[in-house]
A and B are shown apart, each in its own frame.
Chain A
Amino acid sequence: MSDTGIGASVRRKEDFRFLTGQGTYTDDINRPGQLHAYILRSPHAHARIKSIDVSAAAKASGVVAIFTGKDLAADNVGGLPCGWQIHSKDGSPMVEPPHPALAVDRVRHVGDQVAIVIADSKSEARDAAELIGVDYEPLKAVVASVDALKKGAPQLHDSAPGNLCYDWHIGDKAQVDAAFAKAAHVTKLDIVNNRLIPNAMEPRAAIGEFDRATGEYTLYTTSQNPHVIRLLMGAFVLHIPEHKLRVVAPDVGGGFGSKIFHYAEEAILTWAAGKLKKPIKWTCERSESFLSDAHGRDHVTHAELALDKEGKFLALRVSTIASMGAYLSTFAPSVPTYLYATLLAGTYTTPAIYCEVKAAFTNTVPVDAYRGAGRPEATYILERIVDQAARETKLDQADIRRRNFIPKDAYPYQTPVALQYDSGDYHTTLDKALEAADYSGFEARRQEAARRGKLRGIGLATYIEACGIAPSAVAGALGARAGLYETGEIRVHPTGSVTVFTGTHSHGQGHETTFAQLVAERLGIPIENIEVSHGDTNKIPFGMGTYGSRSLAVGGSAIVKALDKVVNKGKKIAAHLLEASEADIEFKDGKFAVAGTDRAKTFGEIALTAYVPHNYPIEELEPGLDETAFYDPKNFTFPSGAHVAEIEIDRDTGTVELVNFTACDDFGRIINPLIVEGQVHGGLVQGIGQALLEGCVYDDAGQLITGSYMDYCMPRANNVPSFTVSTNVTLCTHNPLGVKGCGEAGAIGAPAAVMNAVASALAPLGVGHIDMPATAERVWRVLNAQNMPQAAE
């Protein structure tokens, strides 16, 4: 292993600019002659718009233009498209209600866009927006998905009777029913997966620009996938062909899923820039982010697990109601279906699984993928019900899992819910996690805590995820309206330095370093000679961006394929220069050598020859050394892991303190251990946040109660401990690097581990399941609602 190649903890190339304040985020960009926009949003969760009077605002200082939904409609601007179509049990397609970029005659959630004010300065735009008179006729709102599906609920969309988007299912119901009929034990659980607000630290922002000379539009935007935005916005909303539309996602300050989607503001800004022939900038305020960034999770589920008398799982039955919010966000329908129910086998051999999901429209912000996207929801249900089953059947938490693990020699393993796992080693992963967490020493720690008056609990969770969503044909058959390949271009320059162009996007993941390591390793050149470029559709090849822990498994594989092409072409050039047969040329450590001799050409010499082809096989070979590859994965990748949480509850206050957290994960081959550990840490705290701190709360009228950092509890440094993380590697069998992906693992395993620890602490007091977040108030109420024994022991 070299100190910059695969497996090395290379310090990140991107850090210098971020540490010195020289990153370029969208709001840091200012275009000549730029105007500023403010979006007027609905204060009502549900209302008819009777009229909008912009006359006073239009006369306000600095105002250049005000546009409403009618202006967009008059210009034939389309609604925001949905990128995934689910079919209901009866074969009918899901309901896709119109999703106008600016509301036309009705608003459906607090924060719904009503008008855009464009002025010389941001403060003038904002001041003028206060002068717009919107005559609303408030309508009854429905907030909870369960309520939305009830008879008599307020109706959001004419096209969606009963507020139902789809009623979907997967698995063999009859087989599951038969298994339950012969079960020795059945565990049942009602469970809520709390709605979350993603909260990337950089608020969304956009700049629309129109070039009169070329007729080209440019959109700078806080996006995880600029090509996807270009395609959706160009083809479906604004009808601008790709060659006249450039989308740039520069440095992006975190995404976690929330910046995958095509948002209304992107289309409005781009369209308005074309109308006014001036650049227009919009930057979201954090309060607006709460009301307009897609939220995550929000499931209500009933689950039942059937076991035989040995504690083997016979069948799992799950029924879920998922909120879509007021409209379908870009990939929303896929999250509670194919990204969720297909994961319900987890790490176990459960032979029969059936899951049905109803998706409901509610008067809330649209819900879509958030770190983990469906997989945390599946893991939470499965690991909570397994935890509960162990308690009911008096089995040890580790033991019940070991009895049901898919054995190491069973791969490829076909689950009853569509997926085929390629590799894994769940026993070893769990053993390593338990050893690192000193699982066997827990009882002594519990007794010691009890002497201090604390309730101590330990919780395990194992998980499986499906990452690098693929192959395109399979995803297409399941409803995806996009390809799921990735692209990589290796442009070798004449003097031997390299620029990598990737269709993925880095917004914290460190691709500029990890991808450079792949190139340094393969081409044997210094990592300083490699630059990774991403984010600008005018530079990079068409790619799908970054989400679902796909960048290395799919994007990295495309880069490897392109590197293969570079090396193969280099061999042809070397064979010519060295007057040898191509078959005899070996490429190693940056040199093309004739096997068994000391005759060799360096990579730099070959690069120069490719671009200065004086002595060159020009009849057989084109000049240049610039190769592009598309990689369409053969299967998902299946990272897995075992997480162990240990908590203490203060009986007087109900405060849950996370005292230890241990994770052992299988991400396949690790390229940069430092970066991988960082990804795990970050995911863990998002998962711990979901379990203990975070929860989106609306009141019955649809007003967002948790609309700022004073009300929505983001994890702070003093809410969490340092972590113990390790890996247990089994290689992915179907991609060239053997990598699986690591971005979401922490957020998938942690909620279940933490809540199982809470359950462990409270079970001796007779407390059953409590829902996330396990805030001090919620735990205190549970402790005080029941006639609790006062001694913990």
Chain B
Amino acid sequence: MSTAVKMTVNGKAASGTVEARTLLVQFLRETLGLTGTHVGCDTSQCGACVVEVDGRSVKSCTMLAVQAEGAKVITIEGLANGELHPMQAAFRENHGLQCGFCTPGMVMSAIDLVKHNKDPSETEIREWLEGNICRCTGYHNIVKSIKAGAAAMRGATK
């Protein structure tokens, strides 16, 4: 059975017809063509699909598209505004990515962390990332990136 859904994605109205079982990540990738959000597992462990829904980071593989009806969704494509978001820039500066597959989820998750905790410690960053798996970087430079990104975001929001 098909259902119509409407939501705001990256500041623009988005709508489509989905099956009841369609996941938010499928709607983003397949209906809207926003392929920056990735699918790395099928058990909600890896976090490659993290997006922001109504101000909170959400694994978009764990939410049905219909549950996002009326929501404000931000994906990795919606972060940069002409220039890179401070967190994106920090990942680049600190080599916080290699193959890039987990990166969108990492960045989206990191931004949500900094919303909750403006100056996270290394331990707090590592604990927060429990739901984001990276196989390339060994996390060392991701942690460094998030520290630097948080500092830049503090500066940017002063």
> 0/1 per residue, A662-687, Cβ < 8 Å to B?
00000000000011011001111110
Looking at the assembled complex, report how far the CB atom of A280 sits from the nearest CB atom of chain B, in whole angstroms.
Answer: 16
Flag whether B8 is at the interface (Cβ < 8 A): no
B62 within 8 A of A: no
Knowing A201-B102, A254-B99, A285-B42, say if A682 contacts B80 (CB, 8 Å): no
B129 nearest in chain A by CB position: A717
Contacts known (A684-B138, A717-B139); A201 close to B46, Cβ less than 8 A: yes
Q: Smallest distance from the beta carbon of A648 to chain B beta carbons, Å?
A: 16
Main secondary structure of the interface of B (DSSP, over half): loop
Count contacts on B: residues with CB < 8 A to the other chain.
Answer: 56
Q: Output the least CB separation between A33 and chain B (Å).
A: 15
Give bound CA distance, A678 to B103, whole Å: 15
When chains A and B are docked, how far (Å) is the Cα of A168 from the Cα of B101? Answer: 40
Alpha-carbon distance between A256 and B134 when the two chains are bound, in angstroms: 13
Per-residue CB proximity of B21-39 to A under 8 Å, as 1/0? Answer: 1000000010000111111
Could you give 21 example pairs across A and B, Cβ below 8 Å? A11-B93, A11-B95, A17-B100, A18-B99, A20-B84, A21-B76, A22-B36, A25-B35, A25-B101, A28-B29, A28-B35, A200-B135, A283-B39, A510-B98, A675-B95, A684-B138, A709-B45, A717-B125, A717-B132, A718-B127, A718-B129
* Min CB–CB distance B130 → chain A (angstroms): 5
A626 interface contact, C-beta 8 A: no
Once the chains bind, are B19 and A678 in contact (CB under 8 Å)?
A: no
- Give the nearest-CB partner of A683 in chain B: B138
- Closest Cβ of chain A to B73, distance in Å, is 13
| A201–B101 touching, CB < 8 Å | yes
- Point out the residue from B91, B129, B137 that lies within 8 Å of A681, measured CB to CB: B137
Contact A19 B103 (CB under 8 A): yes
Could you tell me the distance between the alpha carbons of A684 and B38 in the complex, rounded to whole angstroms?
Answer: 25
A716 with B129, Cβ < 8 A, contacts A254-B101, A685-B139 known: yes
Distance of A333 Cα from B55 Cα, bound (Å): 52
* Total chain A interface residues with beta-carbon distance under 8 A: 57
| CB pair A708 B135 closer than 8 Å | no
Question: Given that A200-B135, A681-B138 are contacting pairs, would A21 and B99 also be in contact in the complex, using a CB cutoff of 8 Å?
Answer: no
| A200 nearest in chain B by CB position | B135
| Most B C-beta atoms less than 10 A away, residue of A24, A507, A509, A678 | A678
CB distance from B78 to the nearest CB of A (A): 9
Closest to A24 in B: B35
Contacting B at CB under 8 A, from A327-386, are none
Flag if B135 contacts A686 (CB, 8 Å): yes
Contact indicator A21/B122 (Cβ below 8 Å): no
A11 to B123, CA, bound (A): 26
A715 to B139, CA, bound (A): 9
Are A20 and B88 in contact, with the CB atoms below 8 A? yes
Which of B100, B102, B126, B141 is the one whose CB lies under 8 Å from A718?
B126
The answer to the question of A59 belonging to the interface, with a C-beta cut-off of 8 Å to chain B, is no
A201 lies within 8 A of B135 (CB): yes
Is B138's CB under 8 angstroms from A714's CB? no
Instruction: Report Cα–Cα, A90/B40, bound state, in Å.
Output: 46
Whether the pair B130, A508 counts as a contact (CB closer than 8 A) is no
Residues of B within 8 A of A14 (CB): 100
Residue from B42, B103, B135 in contact with A714 in the complex, judged by beta carbons closer than 8 Å: B135
Task: Point out the residues of chain A lying under 8 angstroms from B71, CB to CB.
Answer: none
Q: How far apart are A720's CB and chain B's nearest CB, in angstroms?
A: 6
Q: Contact partner of B98 among A254, A285, A715, A723, CB < 8 A?
A: A254
Taking the nearest CB of chain A, how far is it from the CB of B2, in angstroms? 12
Which single residue of chain A is at the shortest CB-CB distance from B133?
A: A714
Report B19 CB to chain A, min CB distance, Å. Answer: 7
Contact between chains at A709 and B100 (CB < 8 Å): no
Given contact pairs A686-B135, A714-B133, a sample of 15 additional A-B residue pairs in the complex whose CB atoms are under 8 Å apart: A15-B91, A16-B84, A18-B103, A27-B39, A200-B101, A256-B135, A283-B39, A286-B41, A508-B99, A508-B136, A678-B136, A685-B138, A708-B43, A714-B45, A717-B134
